[in-house]
Structure 1
Amino acid sequence: MAIVIAASVSWAQNPVPPTLDPKPAPKPTPAPKPTPAPTLKPAPAPKPAPAPTLKPAPAPKPAPAPKPTPAPTLKPTPAPKPMPAPKLKPAPAPKPTPAPKLSPTLKPTPAPKRTHKSGRRLERLGPLAMRLTDGDVTIETRIVGAPDKIHVGTVLHWVAVVSTPLGYEVKPHRDPAVEPFRRMSAPRTTEPKTVGGRLEHRIAIDLLVLRNGQRVIPQIPLYVTTDKQRILGLNAPALRVKIARLLAHENNPSLKPSRGPVSIQHRNWTLIWSLVVGGSLLLGGLIAFVIARLLARSRRAEIPLPPPRPAHEIALEKLETIRRDGLIARGEFEVFSLRVSETFREYLGNRFGFESLEMTTSELIEELGRYPISAFPLVHFETFLHQCDLVKFAKVVPSVGEMEELLRVAQETVVRTMRVAEAPSRSDATLPPPPSGNEGAAPREQGAGR
């Protein structure tokens, strides 16, 4: 029993290493089992076997216990060396199955042409030409007259030729979008031509190149009207255009340094002669105008002017007009007094040569005091003007007799103070009359005669 327990303990301390299963191998070979010791059988499980249960010894009698016999010393059995795991070679990858060779009598099938929808086919006719076939309608777009290298600023002539059956009509969109190009003209159409029993419609647009690089002229909408008045909406194929750079041969294109302003002297003879001729004509016209004015003035001075009308004639004519207007009969005393006063003041100014219409009554009497008037004293003029002012400003209502007397006094004063012989010009009337007593005598006699 002791030998079996010792062997179990030794086996538990040095167990056999487990078998390793390498993952990469598809089918790993199991490791060989370790050979058991000749005298001991290995436990079926790698786990240590549990120790056997010992029954307790019966309690000794009170007699003295005998000395325990020492257990025999057992040498531990050396554990077997673990077997190294066998090296496994990775399985080779499976070789790809070669494609079956074609029979020499079979030819490769060509790539089908691009189709958009049922019945539509798109073909490339060249670097700048495309063709779209949609049923009975064929649309070819191309760039006509394009240079070998297209640069920014080049005007491209885009042309679309639409082939339709007889009786069809084709109209382009009025304002198609052509970005990144600029449309330089509206879509132009020509009269359709009959070619091979079909109609060919031609549409042209001028496009301006704005950017370099690979650019695409977009699809242009077209409206096709069939012979049954059915409208079809089709798009002209787009074109891909390569725009070359203007500085393609320079590695580092940059602006060249400025050379500065350049002095350019040029004599503009056209401007010089224009200024000379224009100045001469202007100067000649000015001289002719001055000479004509001088001649006209000299001729005007030679023609004698008619003598001015005497002041008393103008005054008597106006007073007679006032009397015939019938203002007194209508009771318009204020208007009557105002007109008589203004006529009388105007006569005094023309007679003695001063501006009397803008003067007050006091200023007028003071101005008359500077002239020798023998026909009437100054009080006579002052009284007459005050009567007129009472009606104009004080709103005094006079009688009919007073108004008739006012008119009569004005006429009499004009007649008695007029000149015996009127001067031939107005300039003489501005001078005061000579201080002689003959001026007032004649009017007085005329008044006495009346």
Structure 2
Amino acid sequence: QQKITLTSFTEGAYSIPQIGIPYERNGSQGSVFSPTLMLEVNTFDVGEATELQPIKNIIEEPITFWDFLPYIIIVLALTLIGLVVWLLIRRNQRKEMLAEFEKKKLPAHIIALSKLEKLQQAELWQKGEIKLFQSQLTFILREYLEDRFKIPALESTSDEIVDDLKKTDLEEVITGKLKNILQTADLVKFAKSEPPVEVHDEAFQNILGFVKATIPQPEPEEDTEETDTSTAKGDPVND
């Protein structure tokens, strides 16, 4: 069996002639012929293909992560900007609150005198709580120095506080007494020293006297009345 493929690009009727096929049988040779075939070729109807066709719908592509990426970036950027603005507003509010608190805050000497009075009423060293007494006494002193003289006493060592005190206008005698008080407290807190009983009361009285002696004095008001009077007594004007 043999297949023959015919190709034609022109419409019409075609005659396929006989095709001879030789063969050999029992020593004799011969040929057989295929019948004559008629082949009709028809073309496609291309009339409809040349006409304008309606616009097809847009084929939607599947949504991927990259489609959402620009929106994600925008949202993150807006969130970051909002966070920065919120932090700035909060910082300004805290500054305003702190400034308002500073205005309403009691003067340093009033706070120190109030705490010294409470410490005296507690009678800690009389009860044998020497370390606690010295810790609270020197804390009151450090806090007062920081508020009154703007010395970072709460964060400084005793020697650093003494060095800062020497830069102020305090007398050397007062600085020396405060140095002894701080050093005594350090010995009690860190070396477990037990100084004589009178040392505690003396330290308390020295700090109490120091606070009272360094209370800021109000600035004297100008005598505007005298100025107004002298102005009114000027030379008379001659007509």
**Matched position secondary structure for 2:152:** coil
TM-score normalised by L of structure 2: 0.51
Higher share in strand: 1
Question: Aligned AA for 2:100?
Answer: L
> CA shift at 1:311, angstroms?
2.4
Among candidates 257, 273, 276, match of residue 67 of structure 2: 273
Question: Aligned AA for 1:362?
Answer: D
* 2:177–2:206 contact (8 Å) kept in structure 1: no
TM-score normalised by L of structure 1: 0.30
- Write the distance in 1 (CA, Å) between the matches of 2:82 and 2:157: 50
The structure-2 alpha-carbon separation of the partners of 1:295 and 1:419, relative to structure 1 and needing over 3 Å to count, comes to same
Counterpart residue number, 2:153: 356
- Write the distance in 2 (CA, Å) between the matches of 1:302 and 1:346: 23
Report sequence identity in percent: 28
- Write the distance in 2 (CA, Å) between the matches of 1:357 and 1:292: 32
Among candidates 100, 123, 126, match of residue 305 of structure 1: 100
> CA shift at 1:376, angstroms?
5.1
Structure-to-structure mapping, 1:243-258, within 5 angstroms: none
- Write the distance in 2 (CA, Å) between the matches of 1:379 and 1:297: 42
Q: Structure 1: give runs of 5+ residues left out of the alignment.
A: 1-266, 423-437, 439-450
Higher share in helix: 2
Is 2:199 the counterpart of 1:405? no
> CA shift at 1:327, angstroms?
1.0
The structure-2 alpha-carbon separation of the partners of 1:315 and 1:375, relative to structure 1 and needing over 3 Å to count, comes to farther
Question: Aligned AA for 1:270?
Answer: I
Q: Which protein, 1 or 2, shows the higher relative CO under an 8 Å CA cutoff with sep ≥ 6? A: 2
- Write the distance in 1 (CA, Å) between the matches of 2:179 and 2:144: 15
- Write the distance in 2 (CA, Å) between the matches of 1:354 and 1:305: 22
Among candidates 62, 81, 88, match of residue 287 of structure 1: 81
Counterpart residue number, 2:165: 368
* 1:316–1:414 contact (8 Å) kept in structure 2: yes
**Matched position secondary structure for 2:210:** helix
Equivalenced residues, count:
156
**Matched position secondary structure for 2:151:** coil
Q: Who wins on radius of gyration, i.e. which is larger?
A: 1
Counterpart residue number, 2:137: 340
Question: Aligned AA for 1:276?
Answer: P
> CA shift at 1:415, angstroms?
1.5
* 1:333–1:398 contact (8 Å) kept in structure 2: no
- Write the distance in 2 (CA, Å) between the matches of 1:377 and 1:397: 21
- Write the distance in 1 (CA, Å) between the matches of 2:192 and 2:88: 55
Counterpart residue number, 2:121: 324
> CA shift at 1:374, angstroms?
4.6
Question: Aligned AA for 2:80?
Answer: L
What is the RMSD of the two structures over their aligned residues, measured on CA atoms?
A: 3.5
> CA shift at 1:300, angstroms?
5.7
**Matched position secondary structure for 2:153:** coil
> CA shift at 1:292, angstroms?
4.0
- Write the distance in 2 (CA, Å) between the matches of 1:391 and 1:275: 66
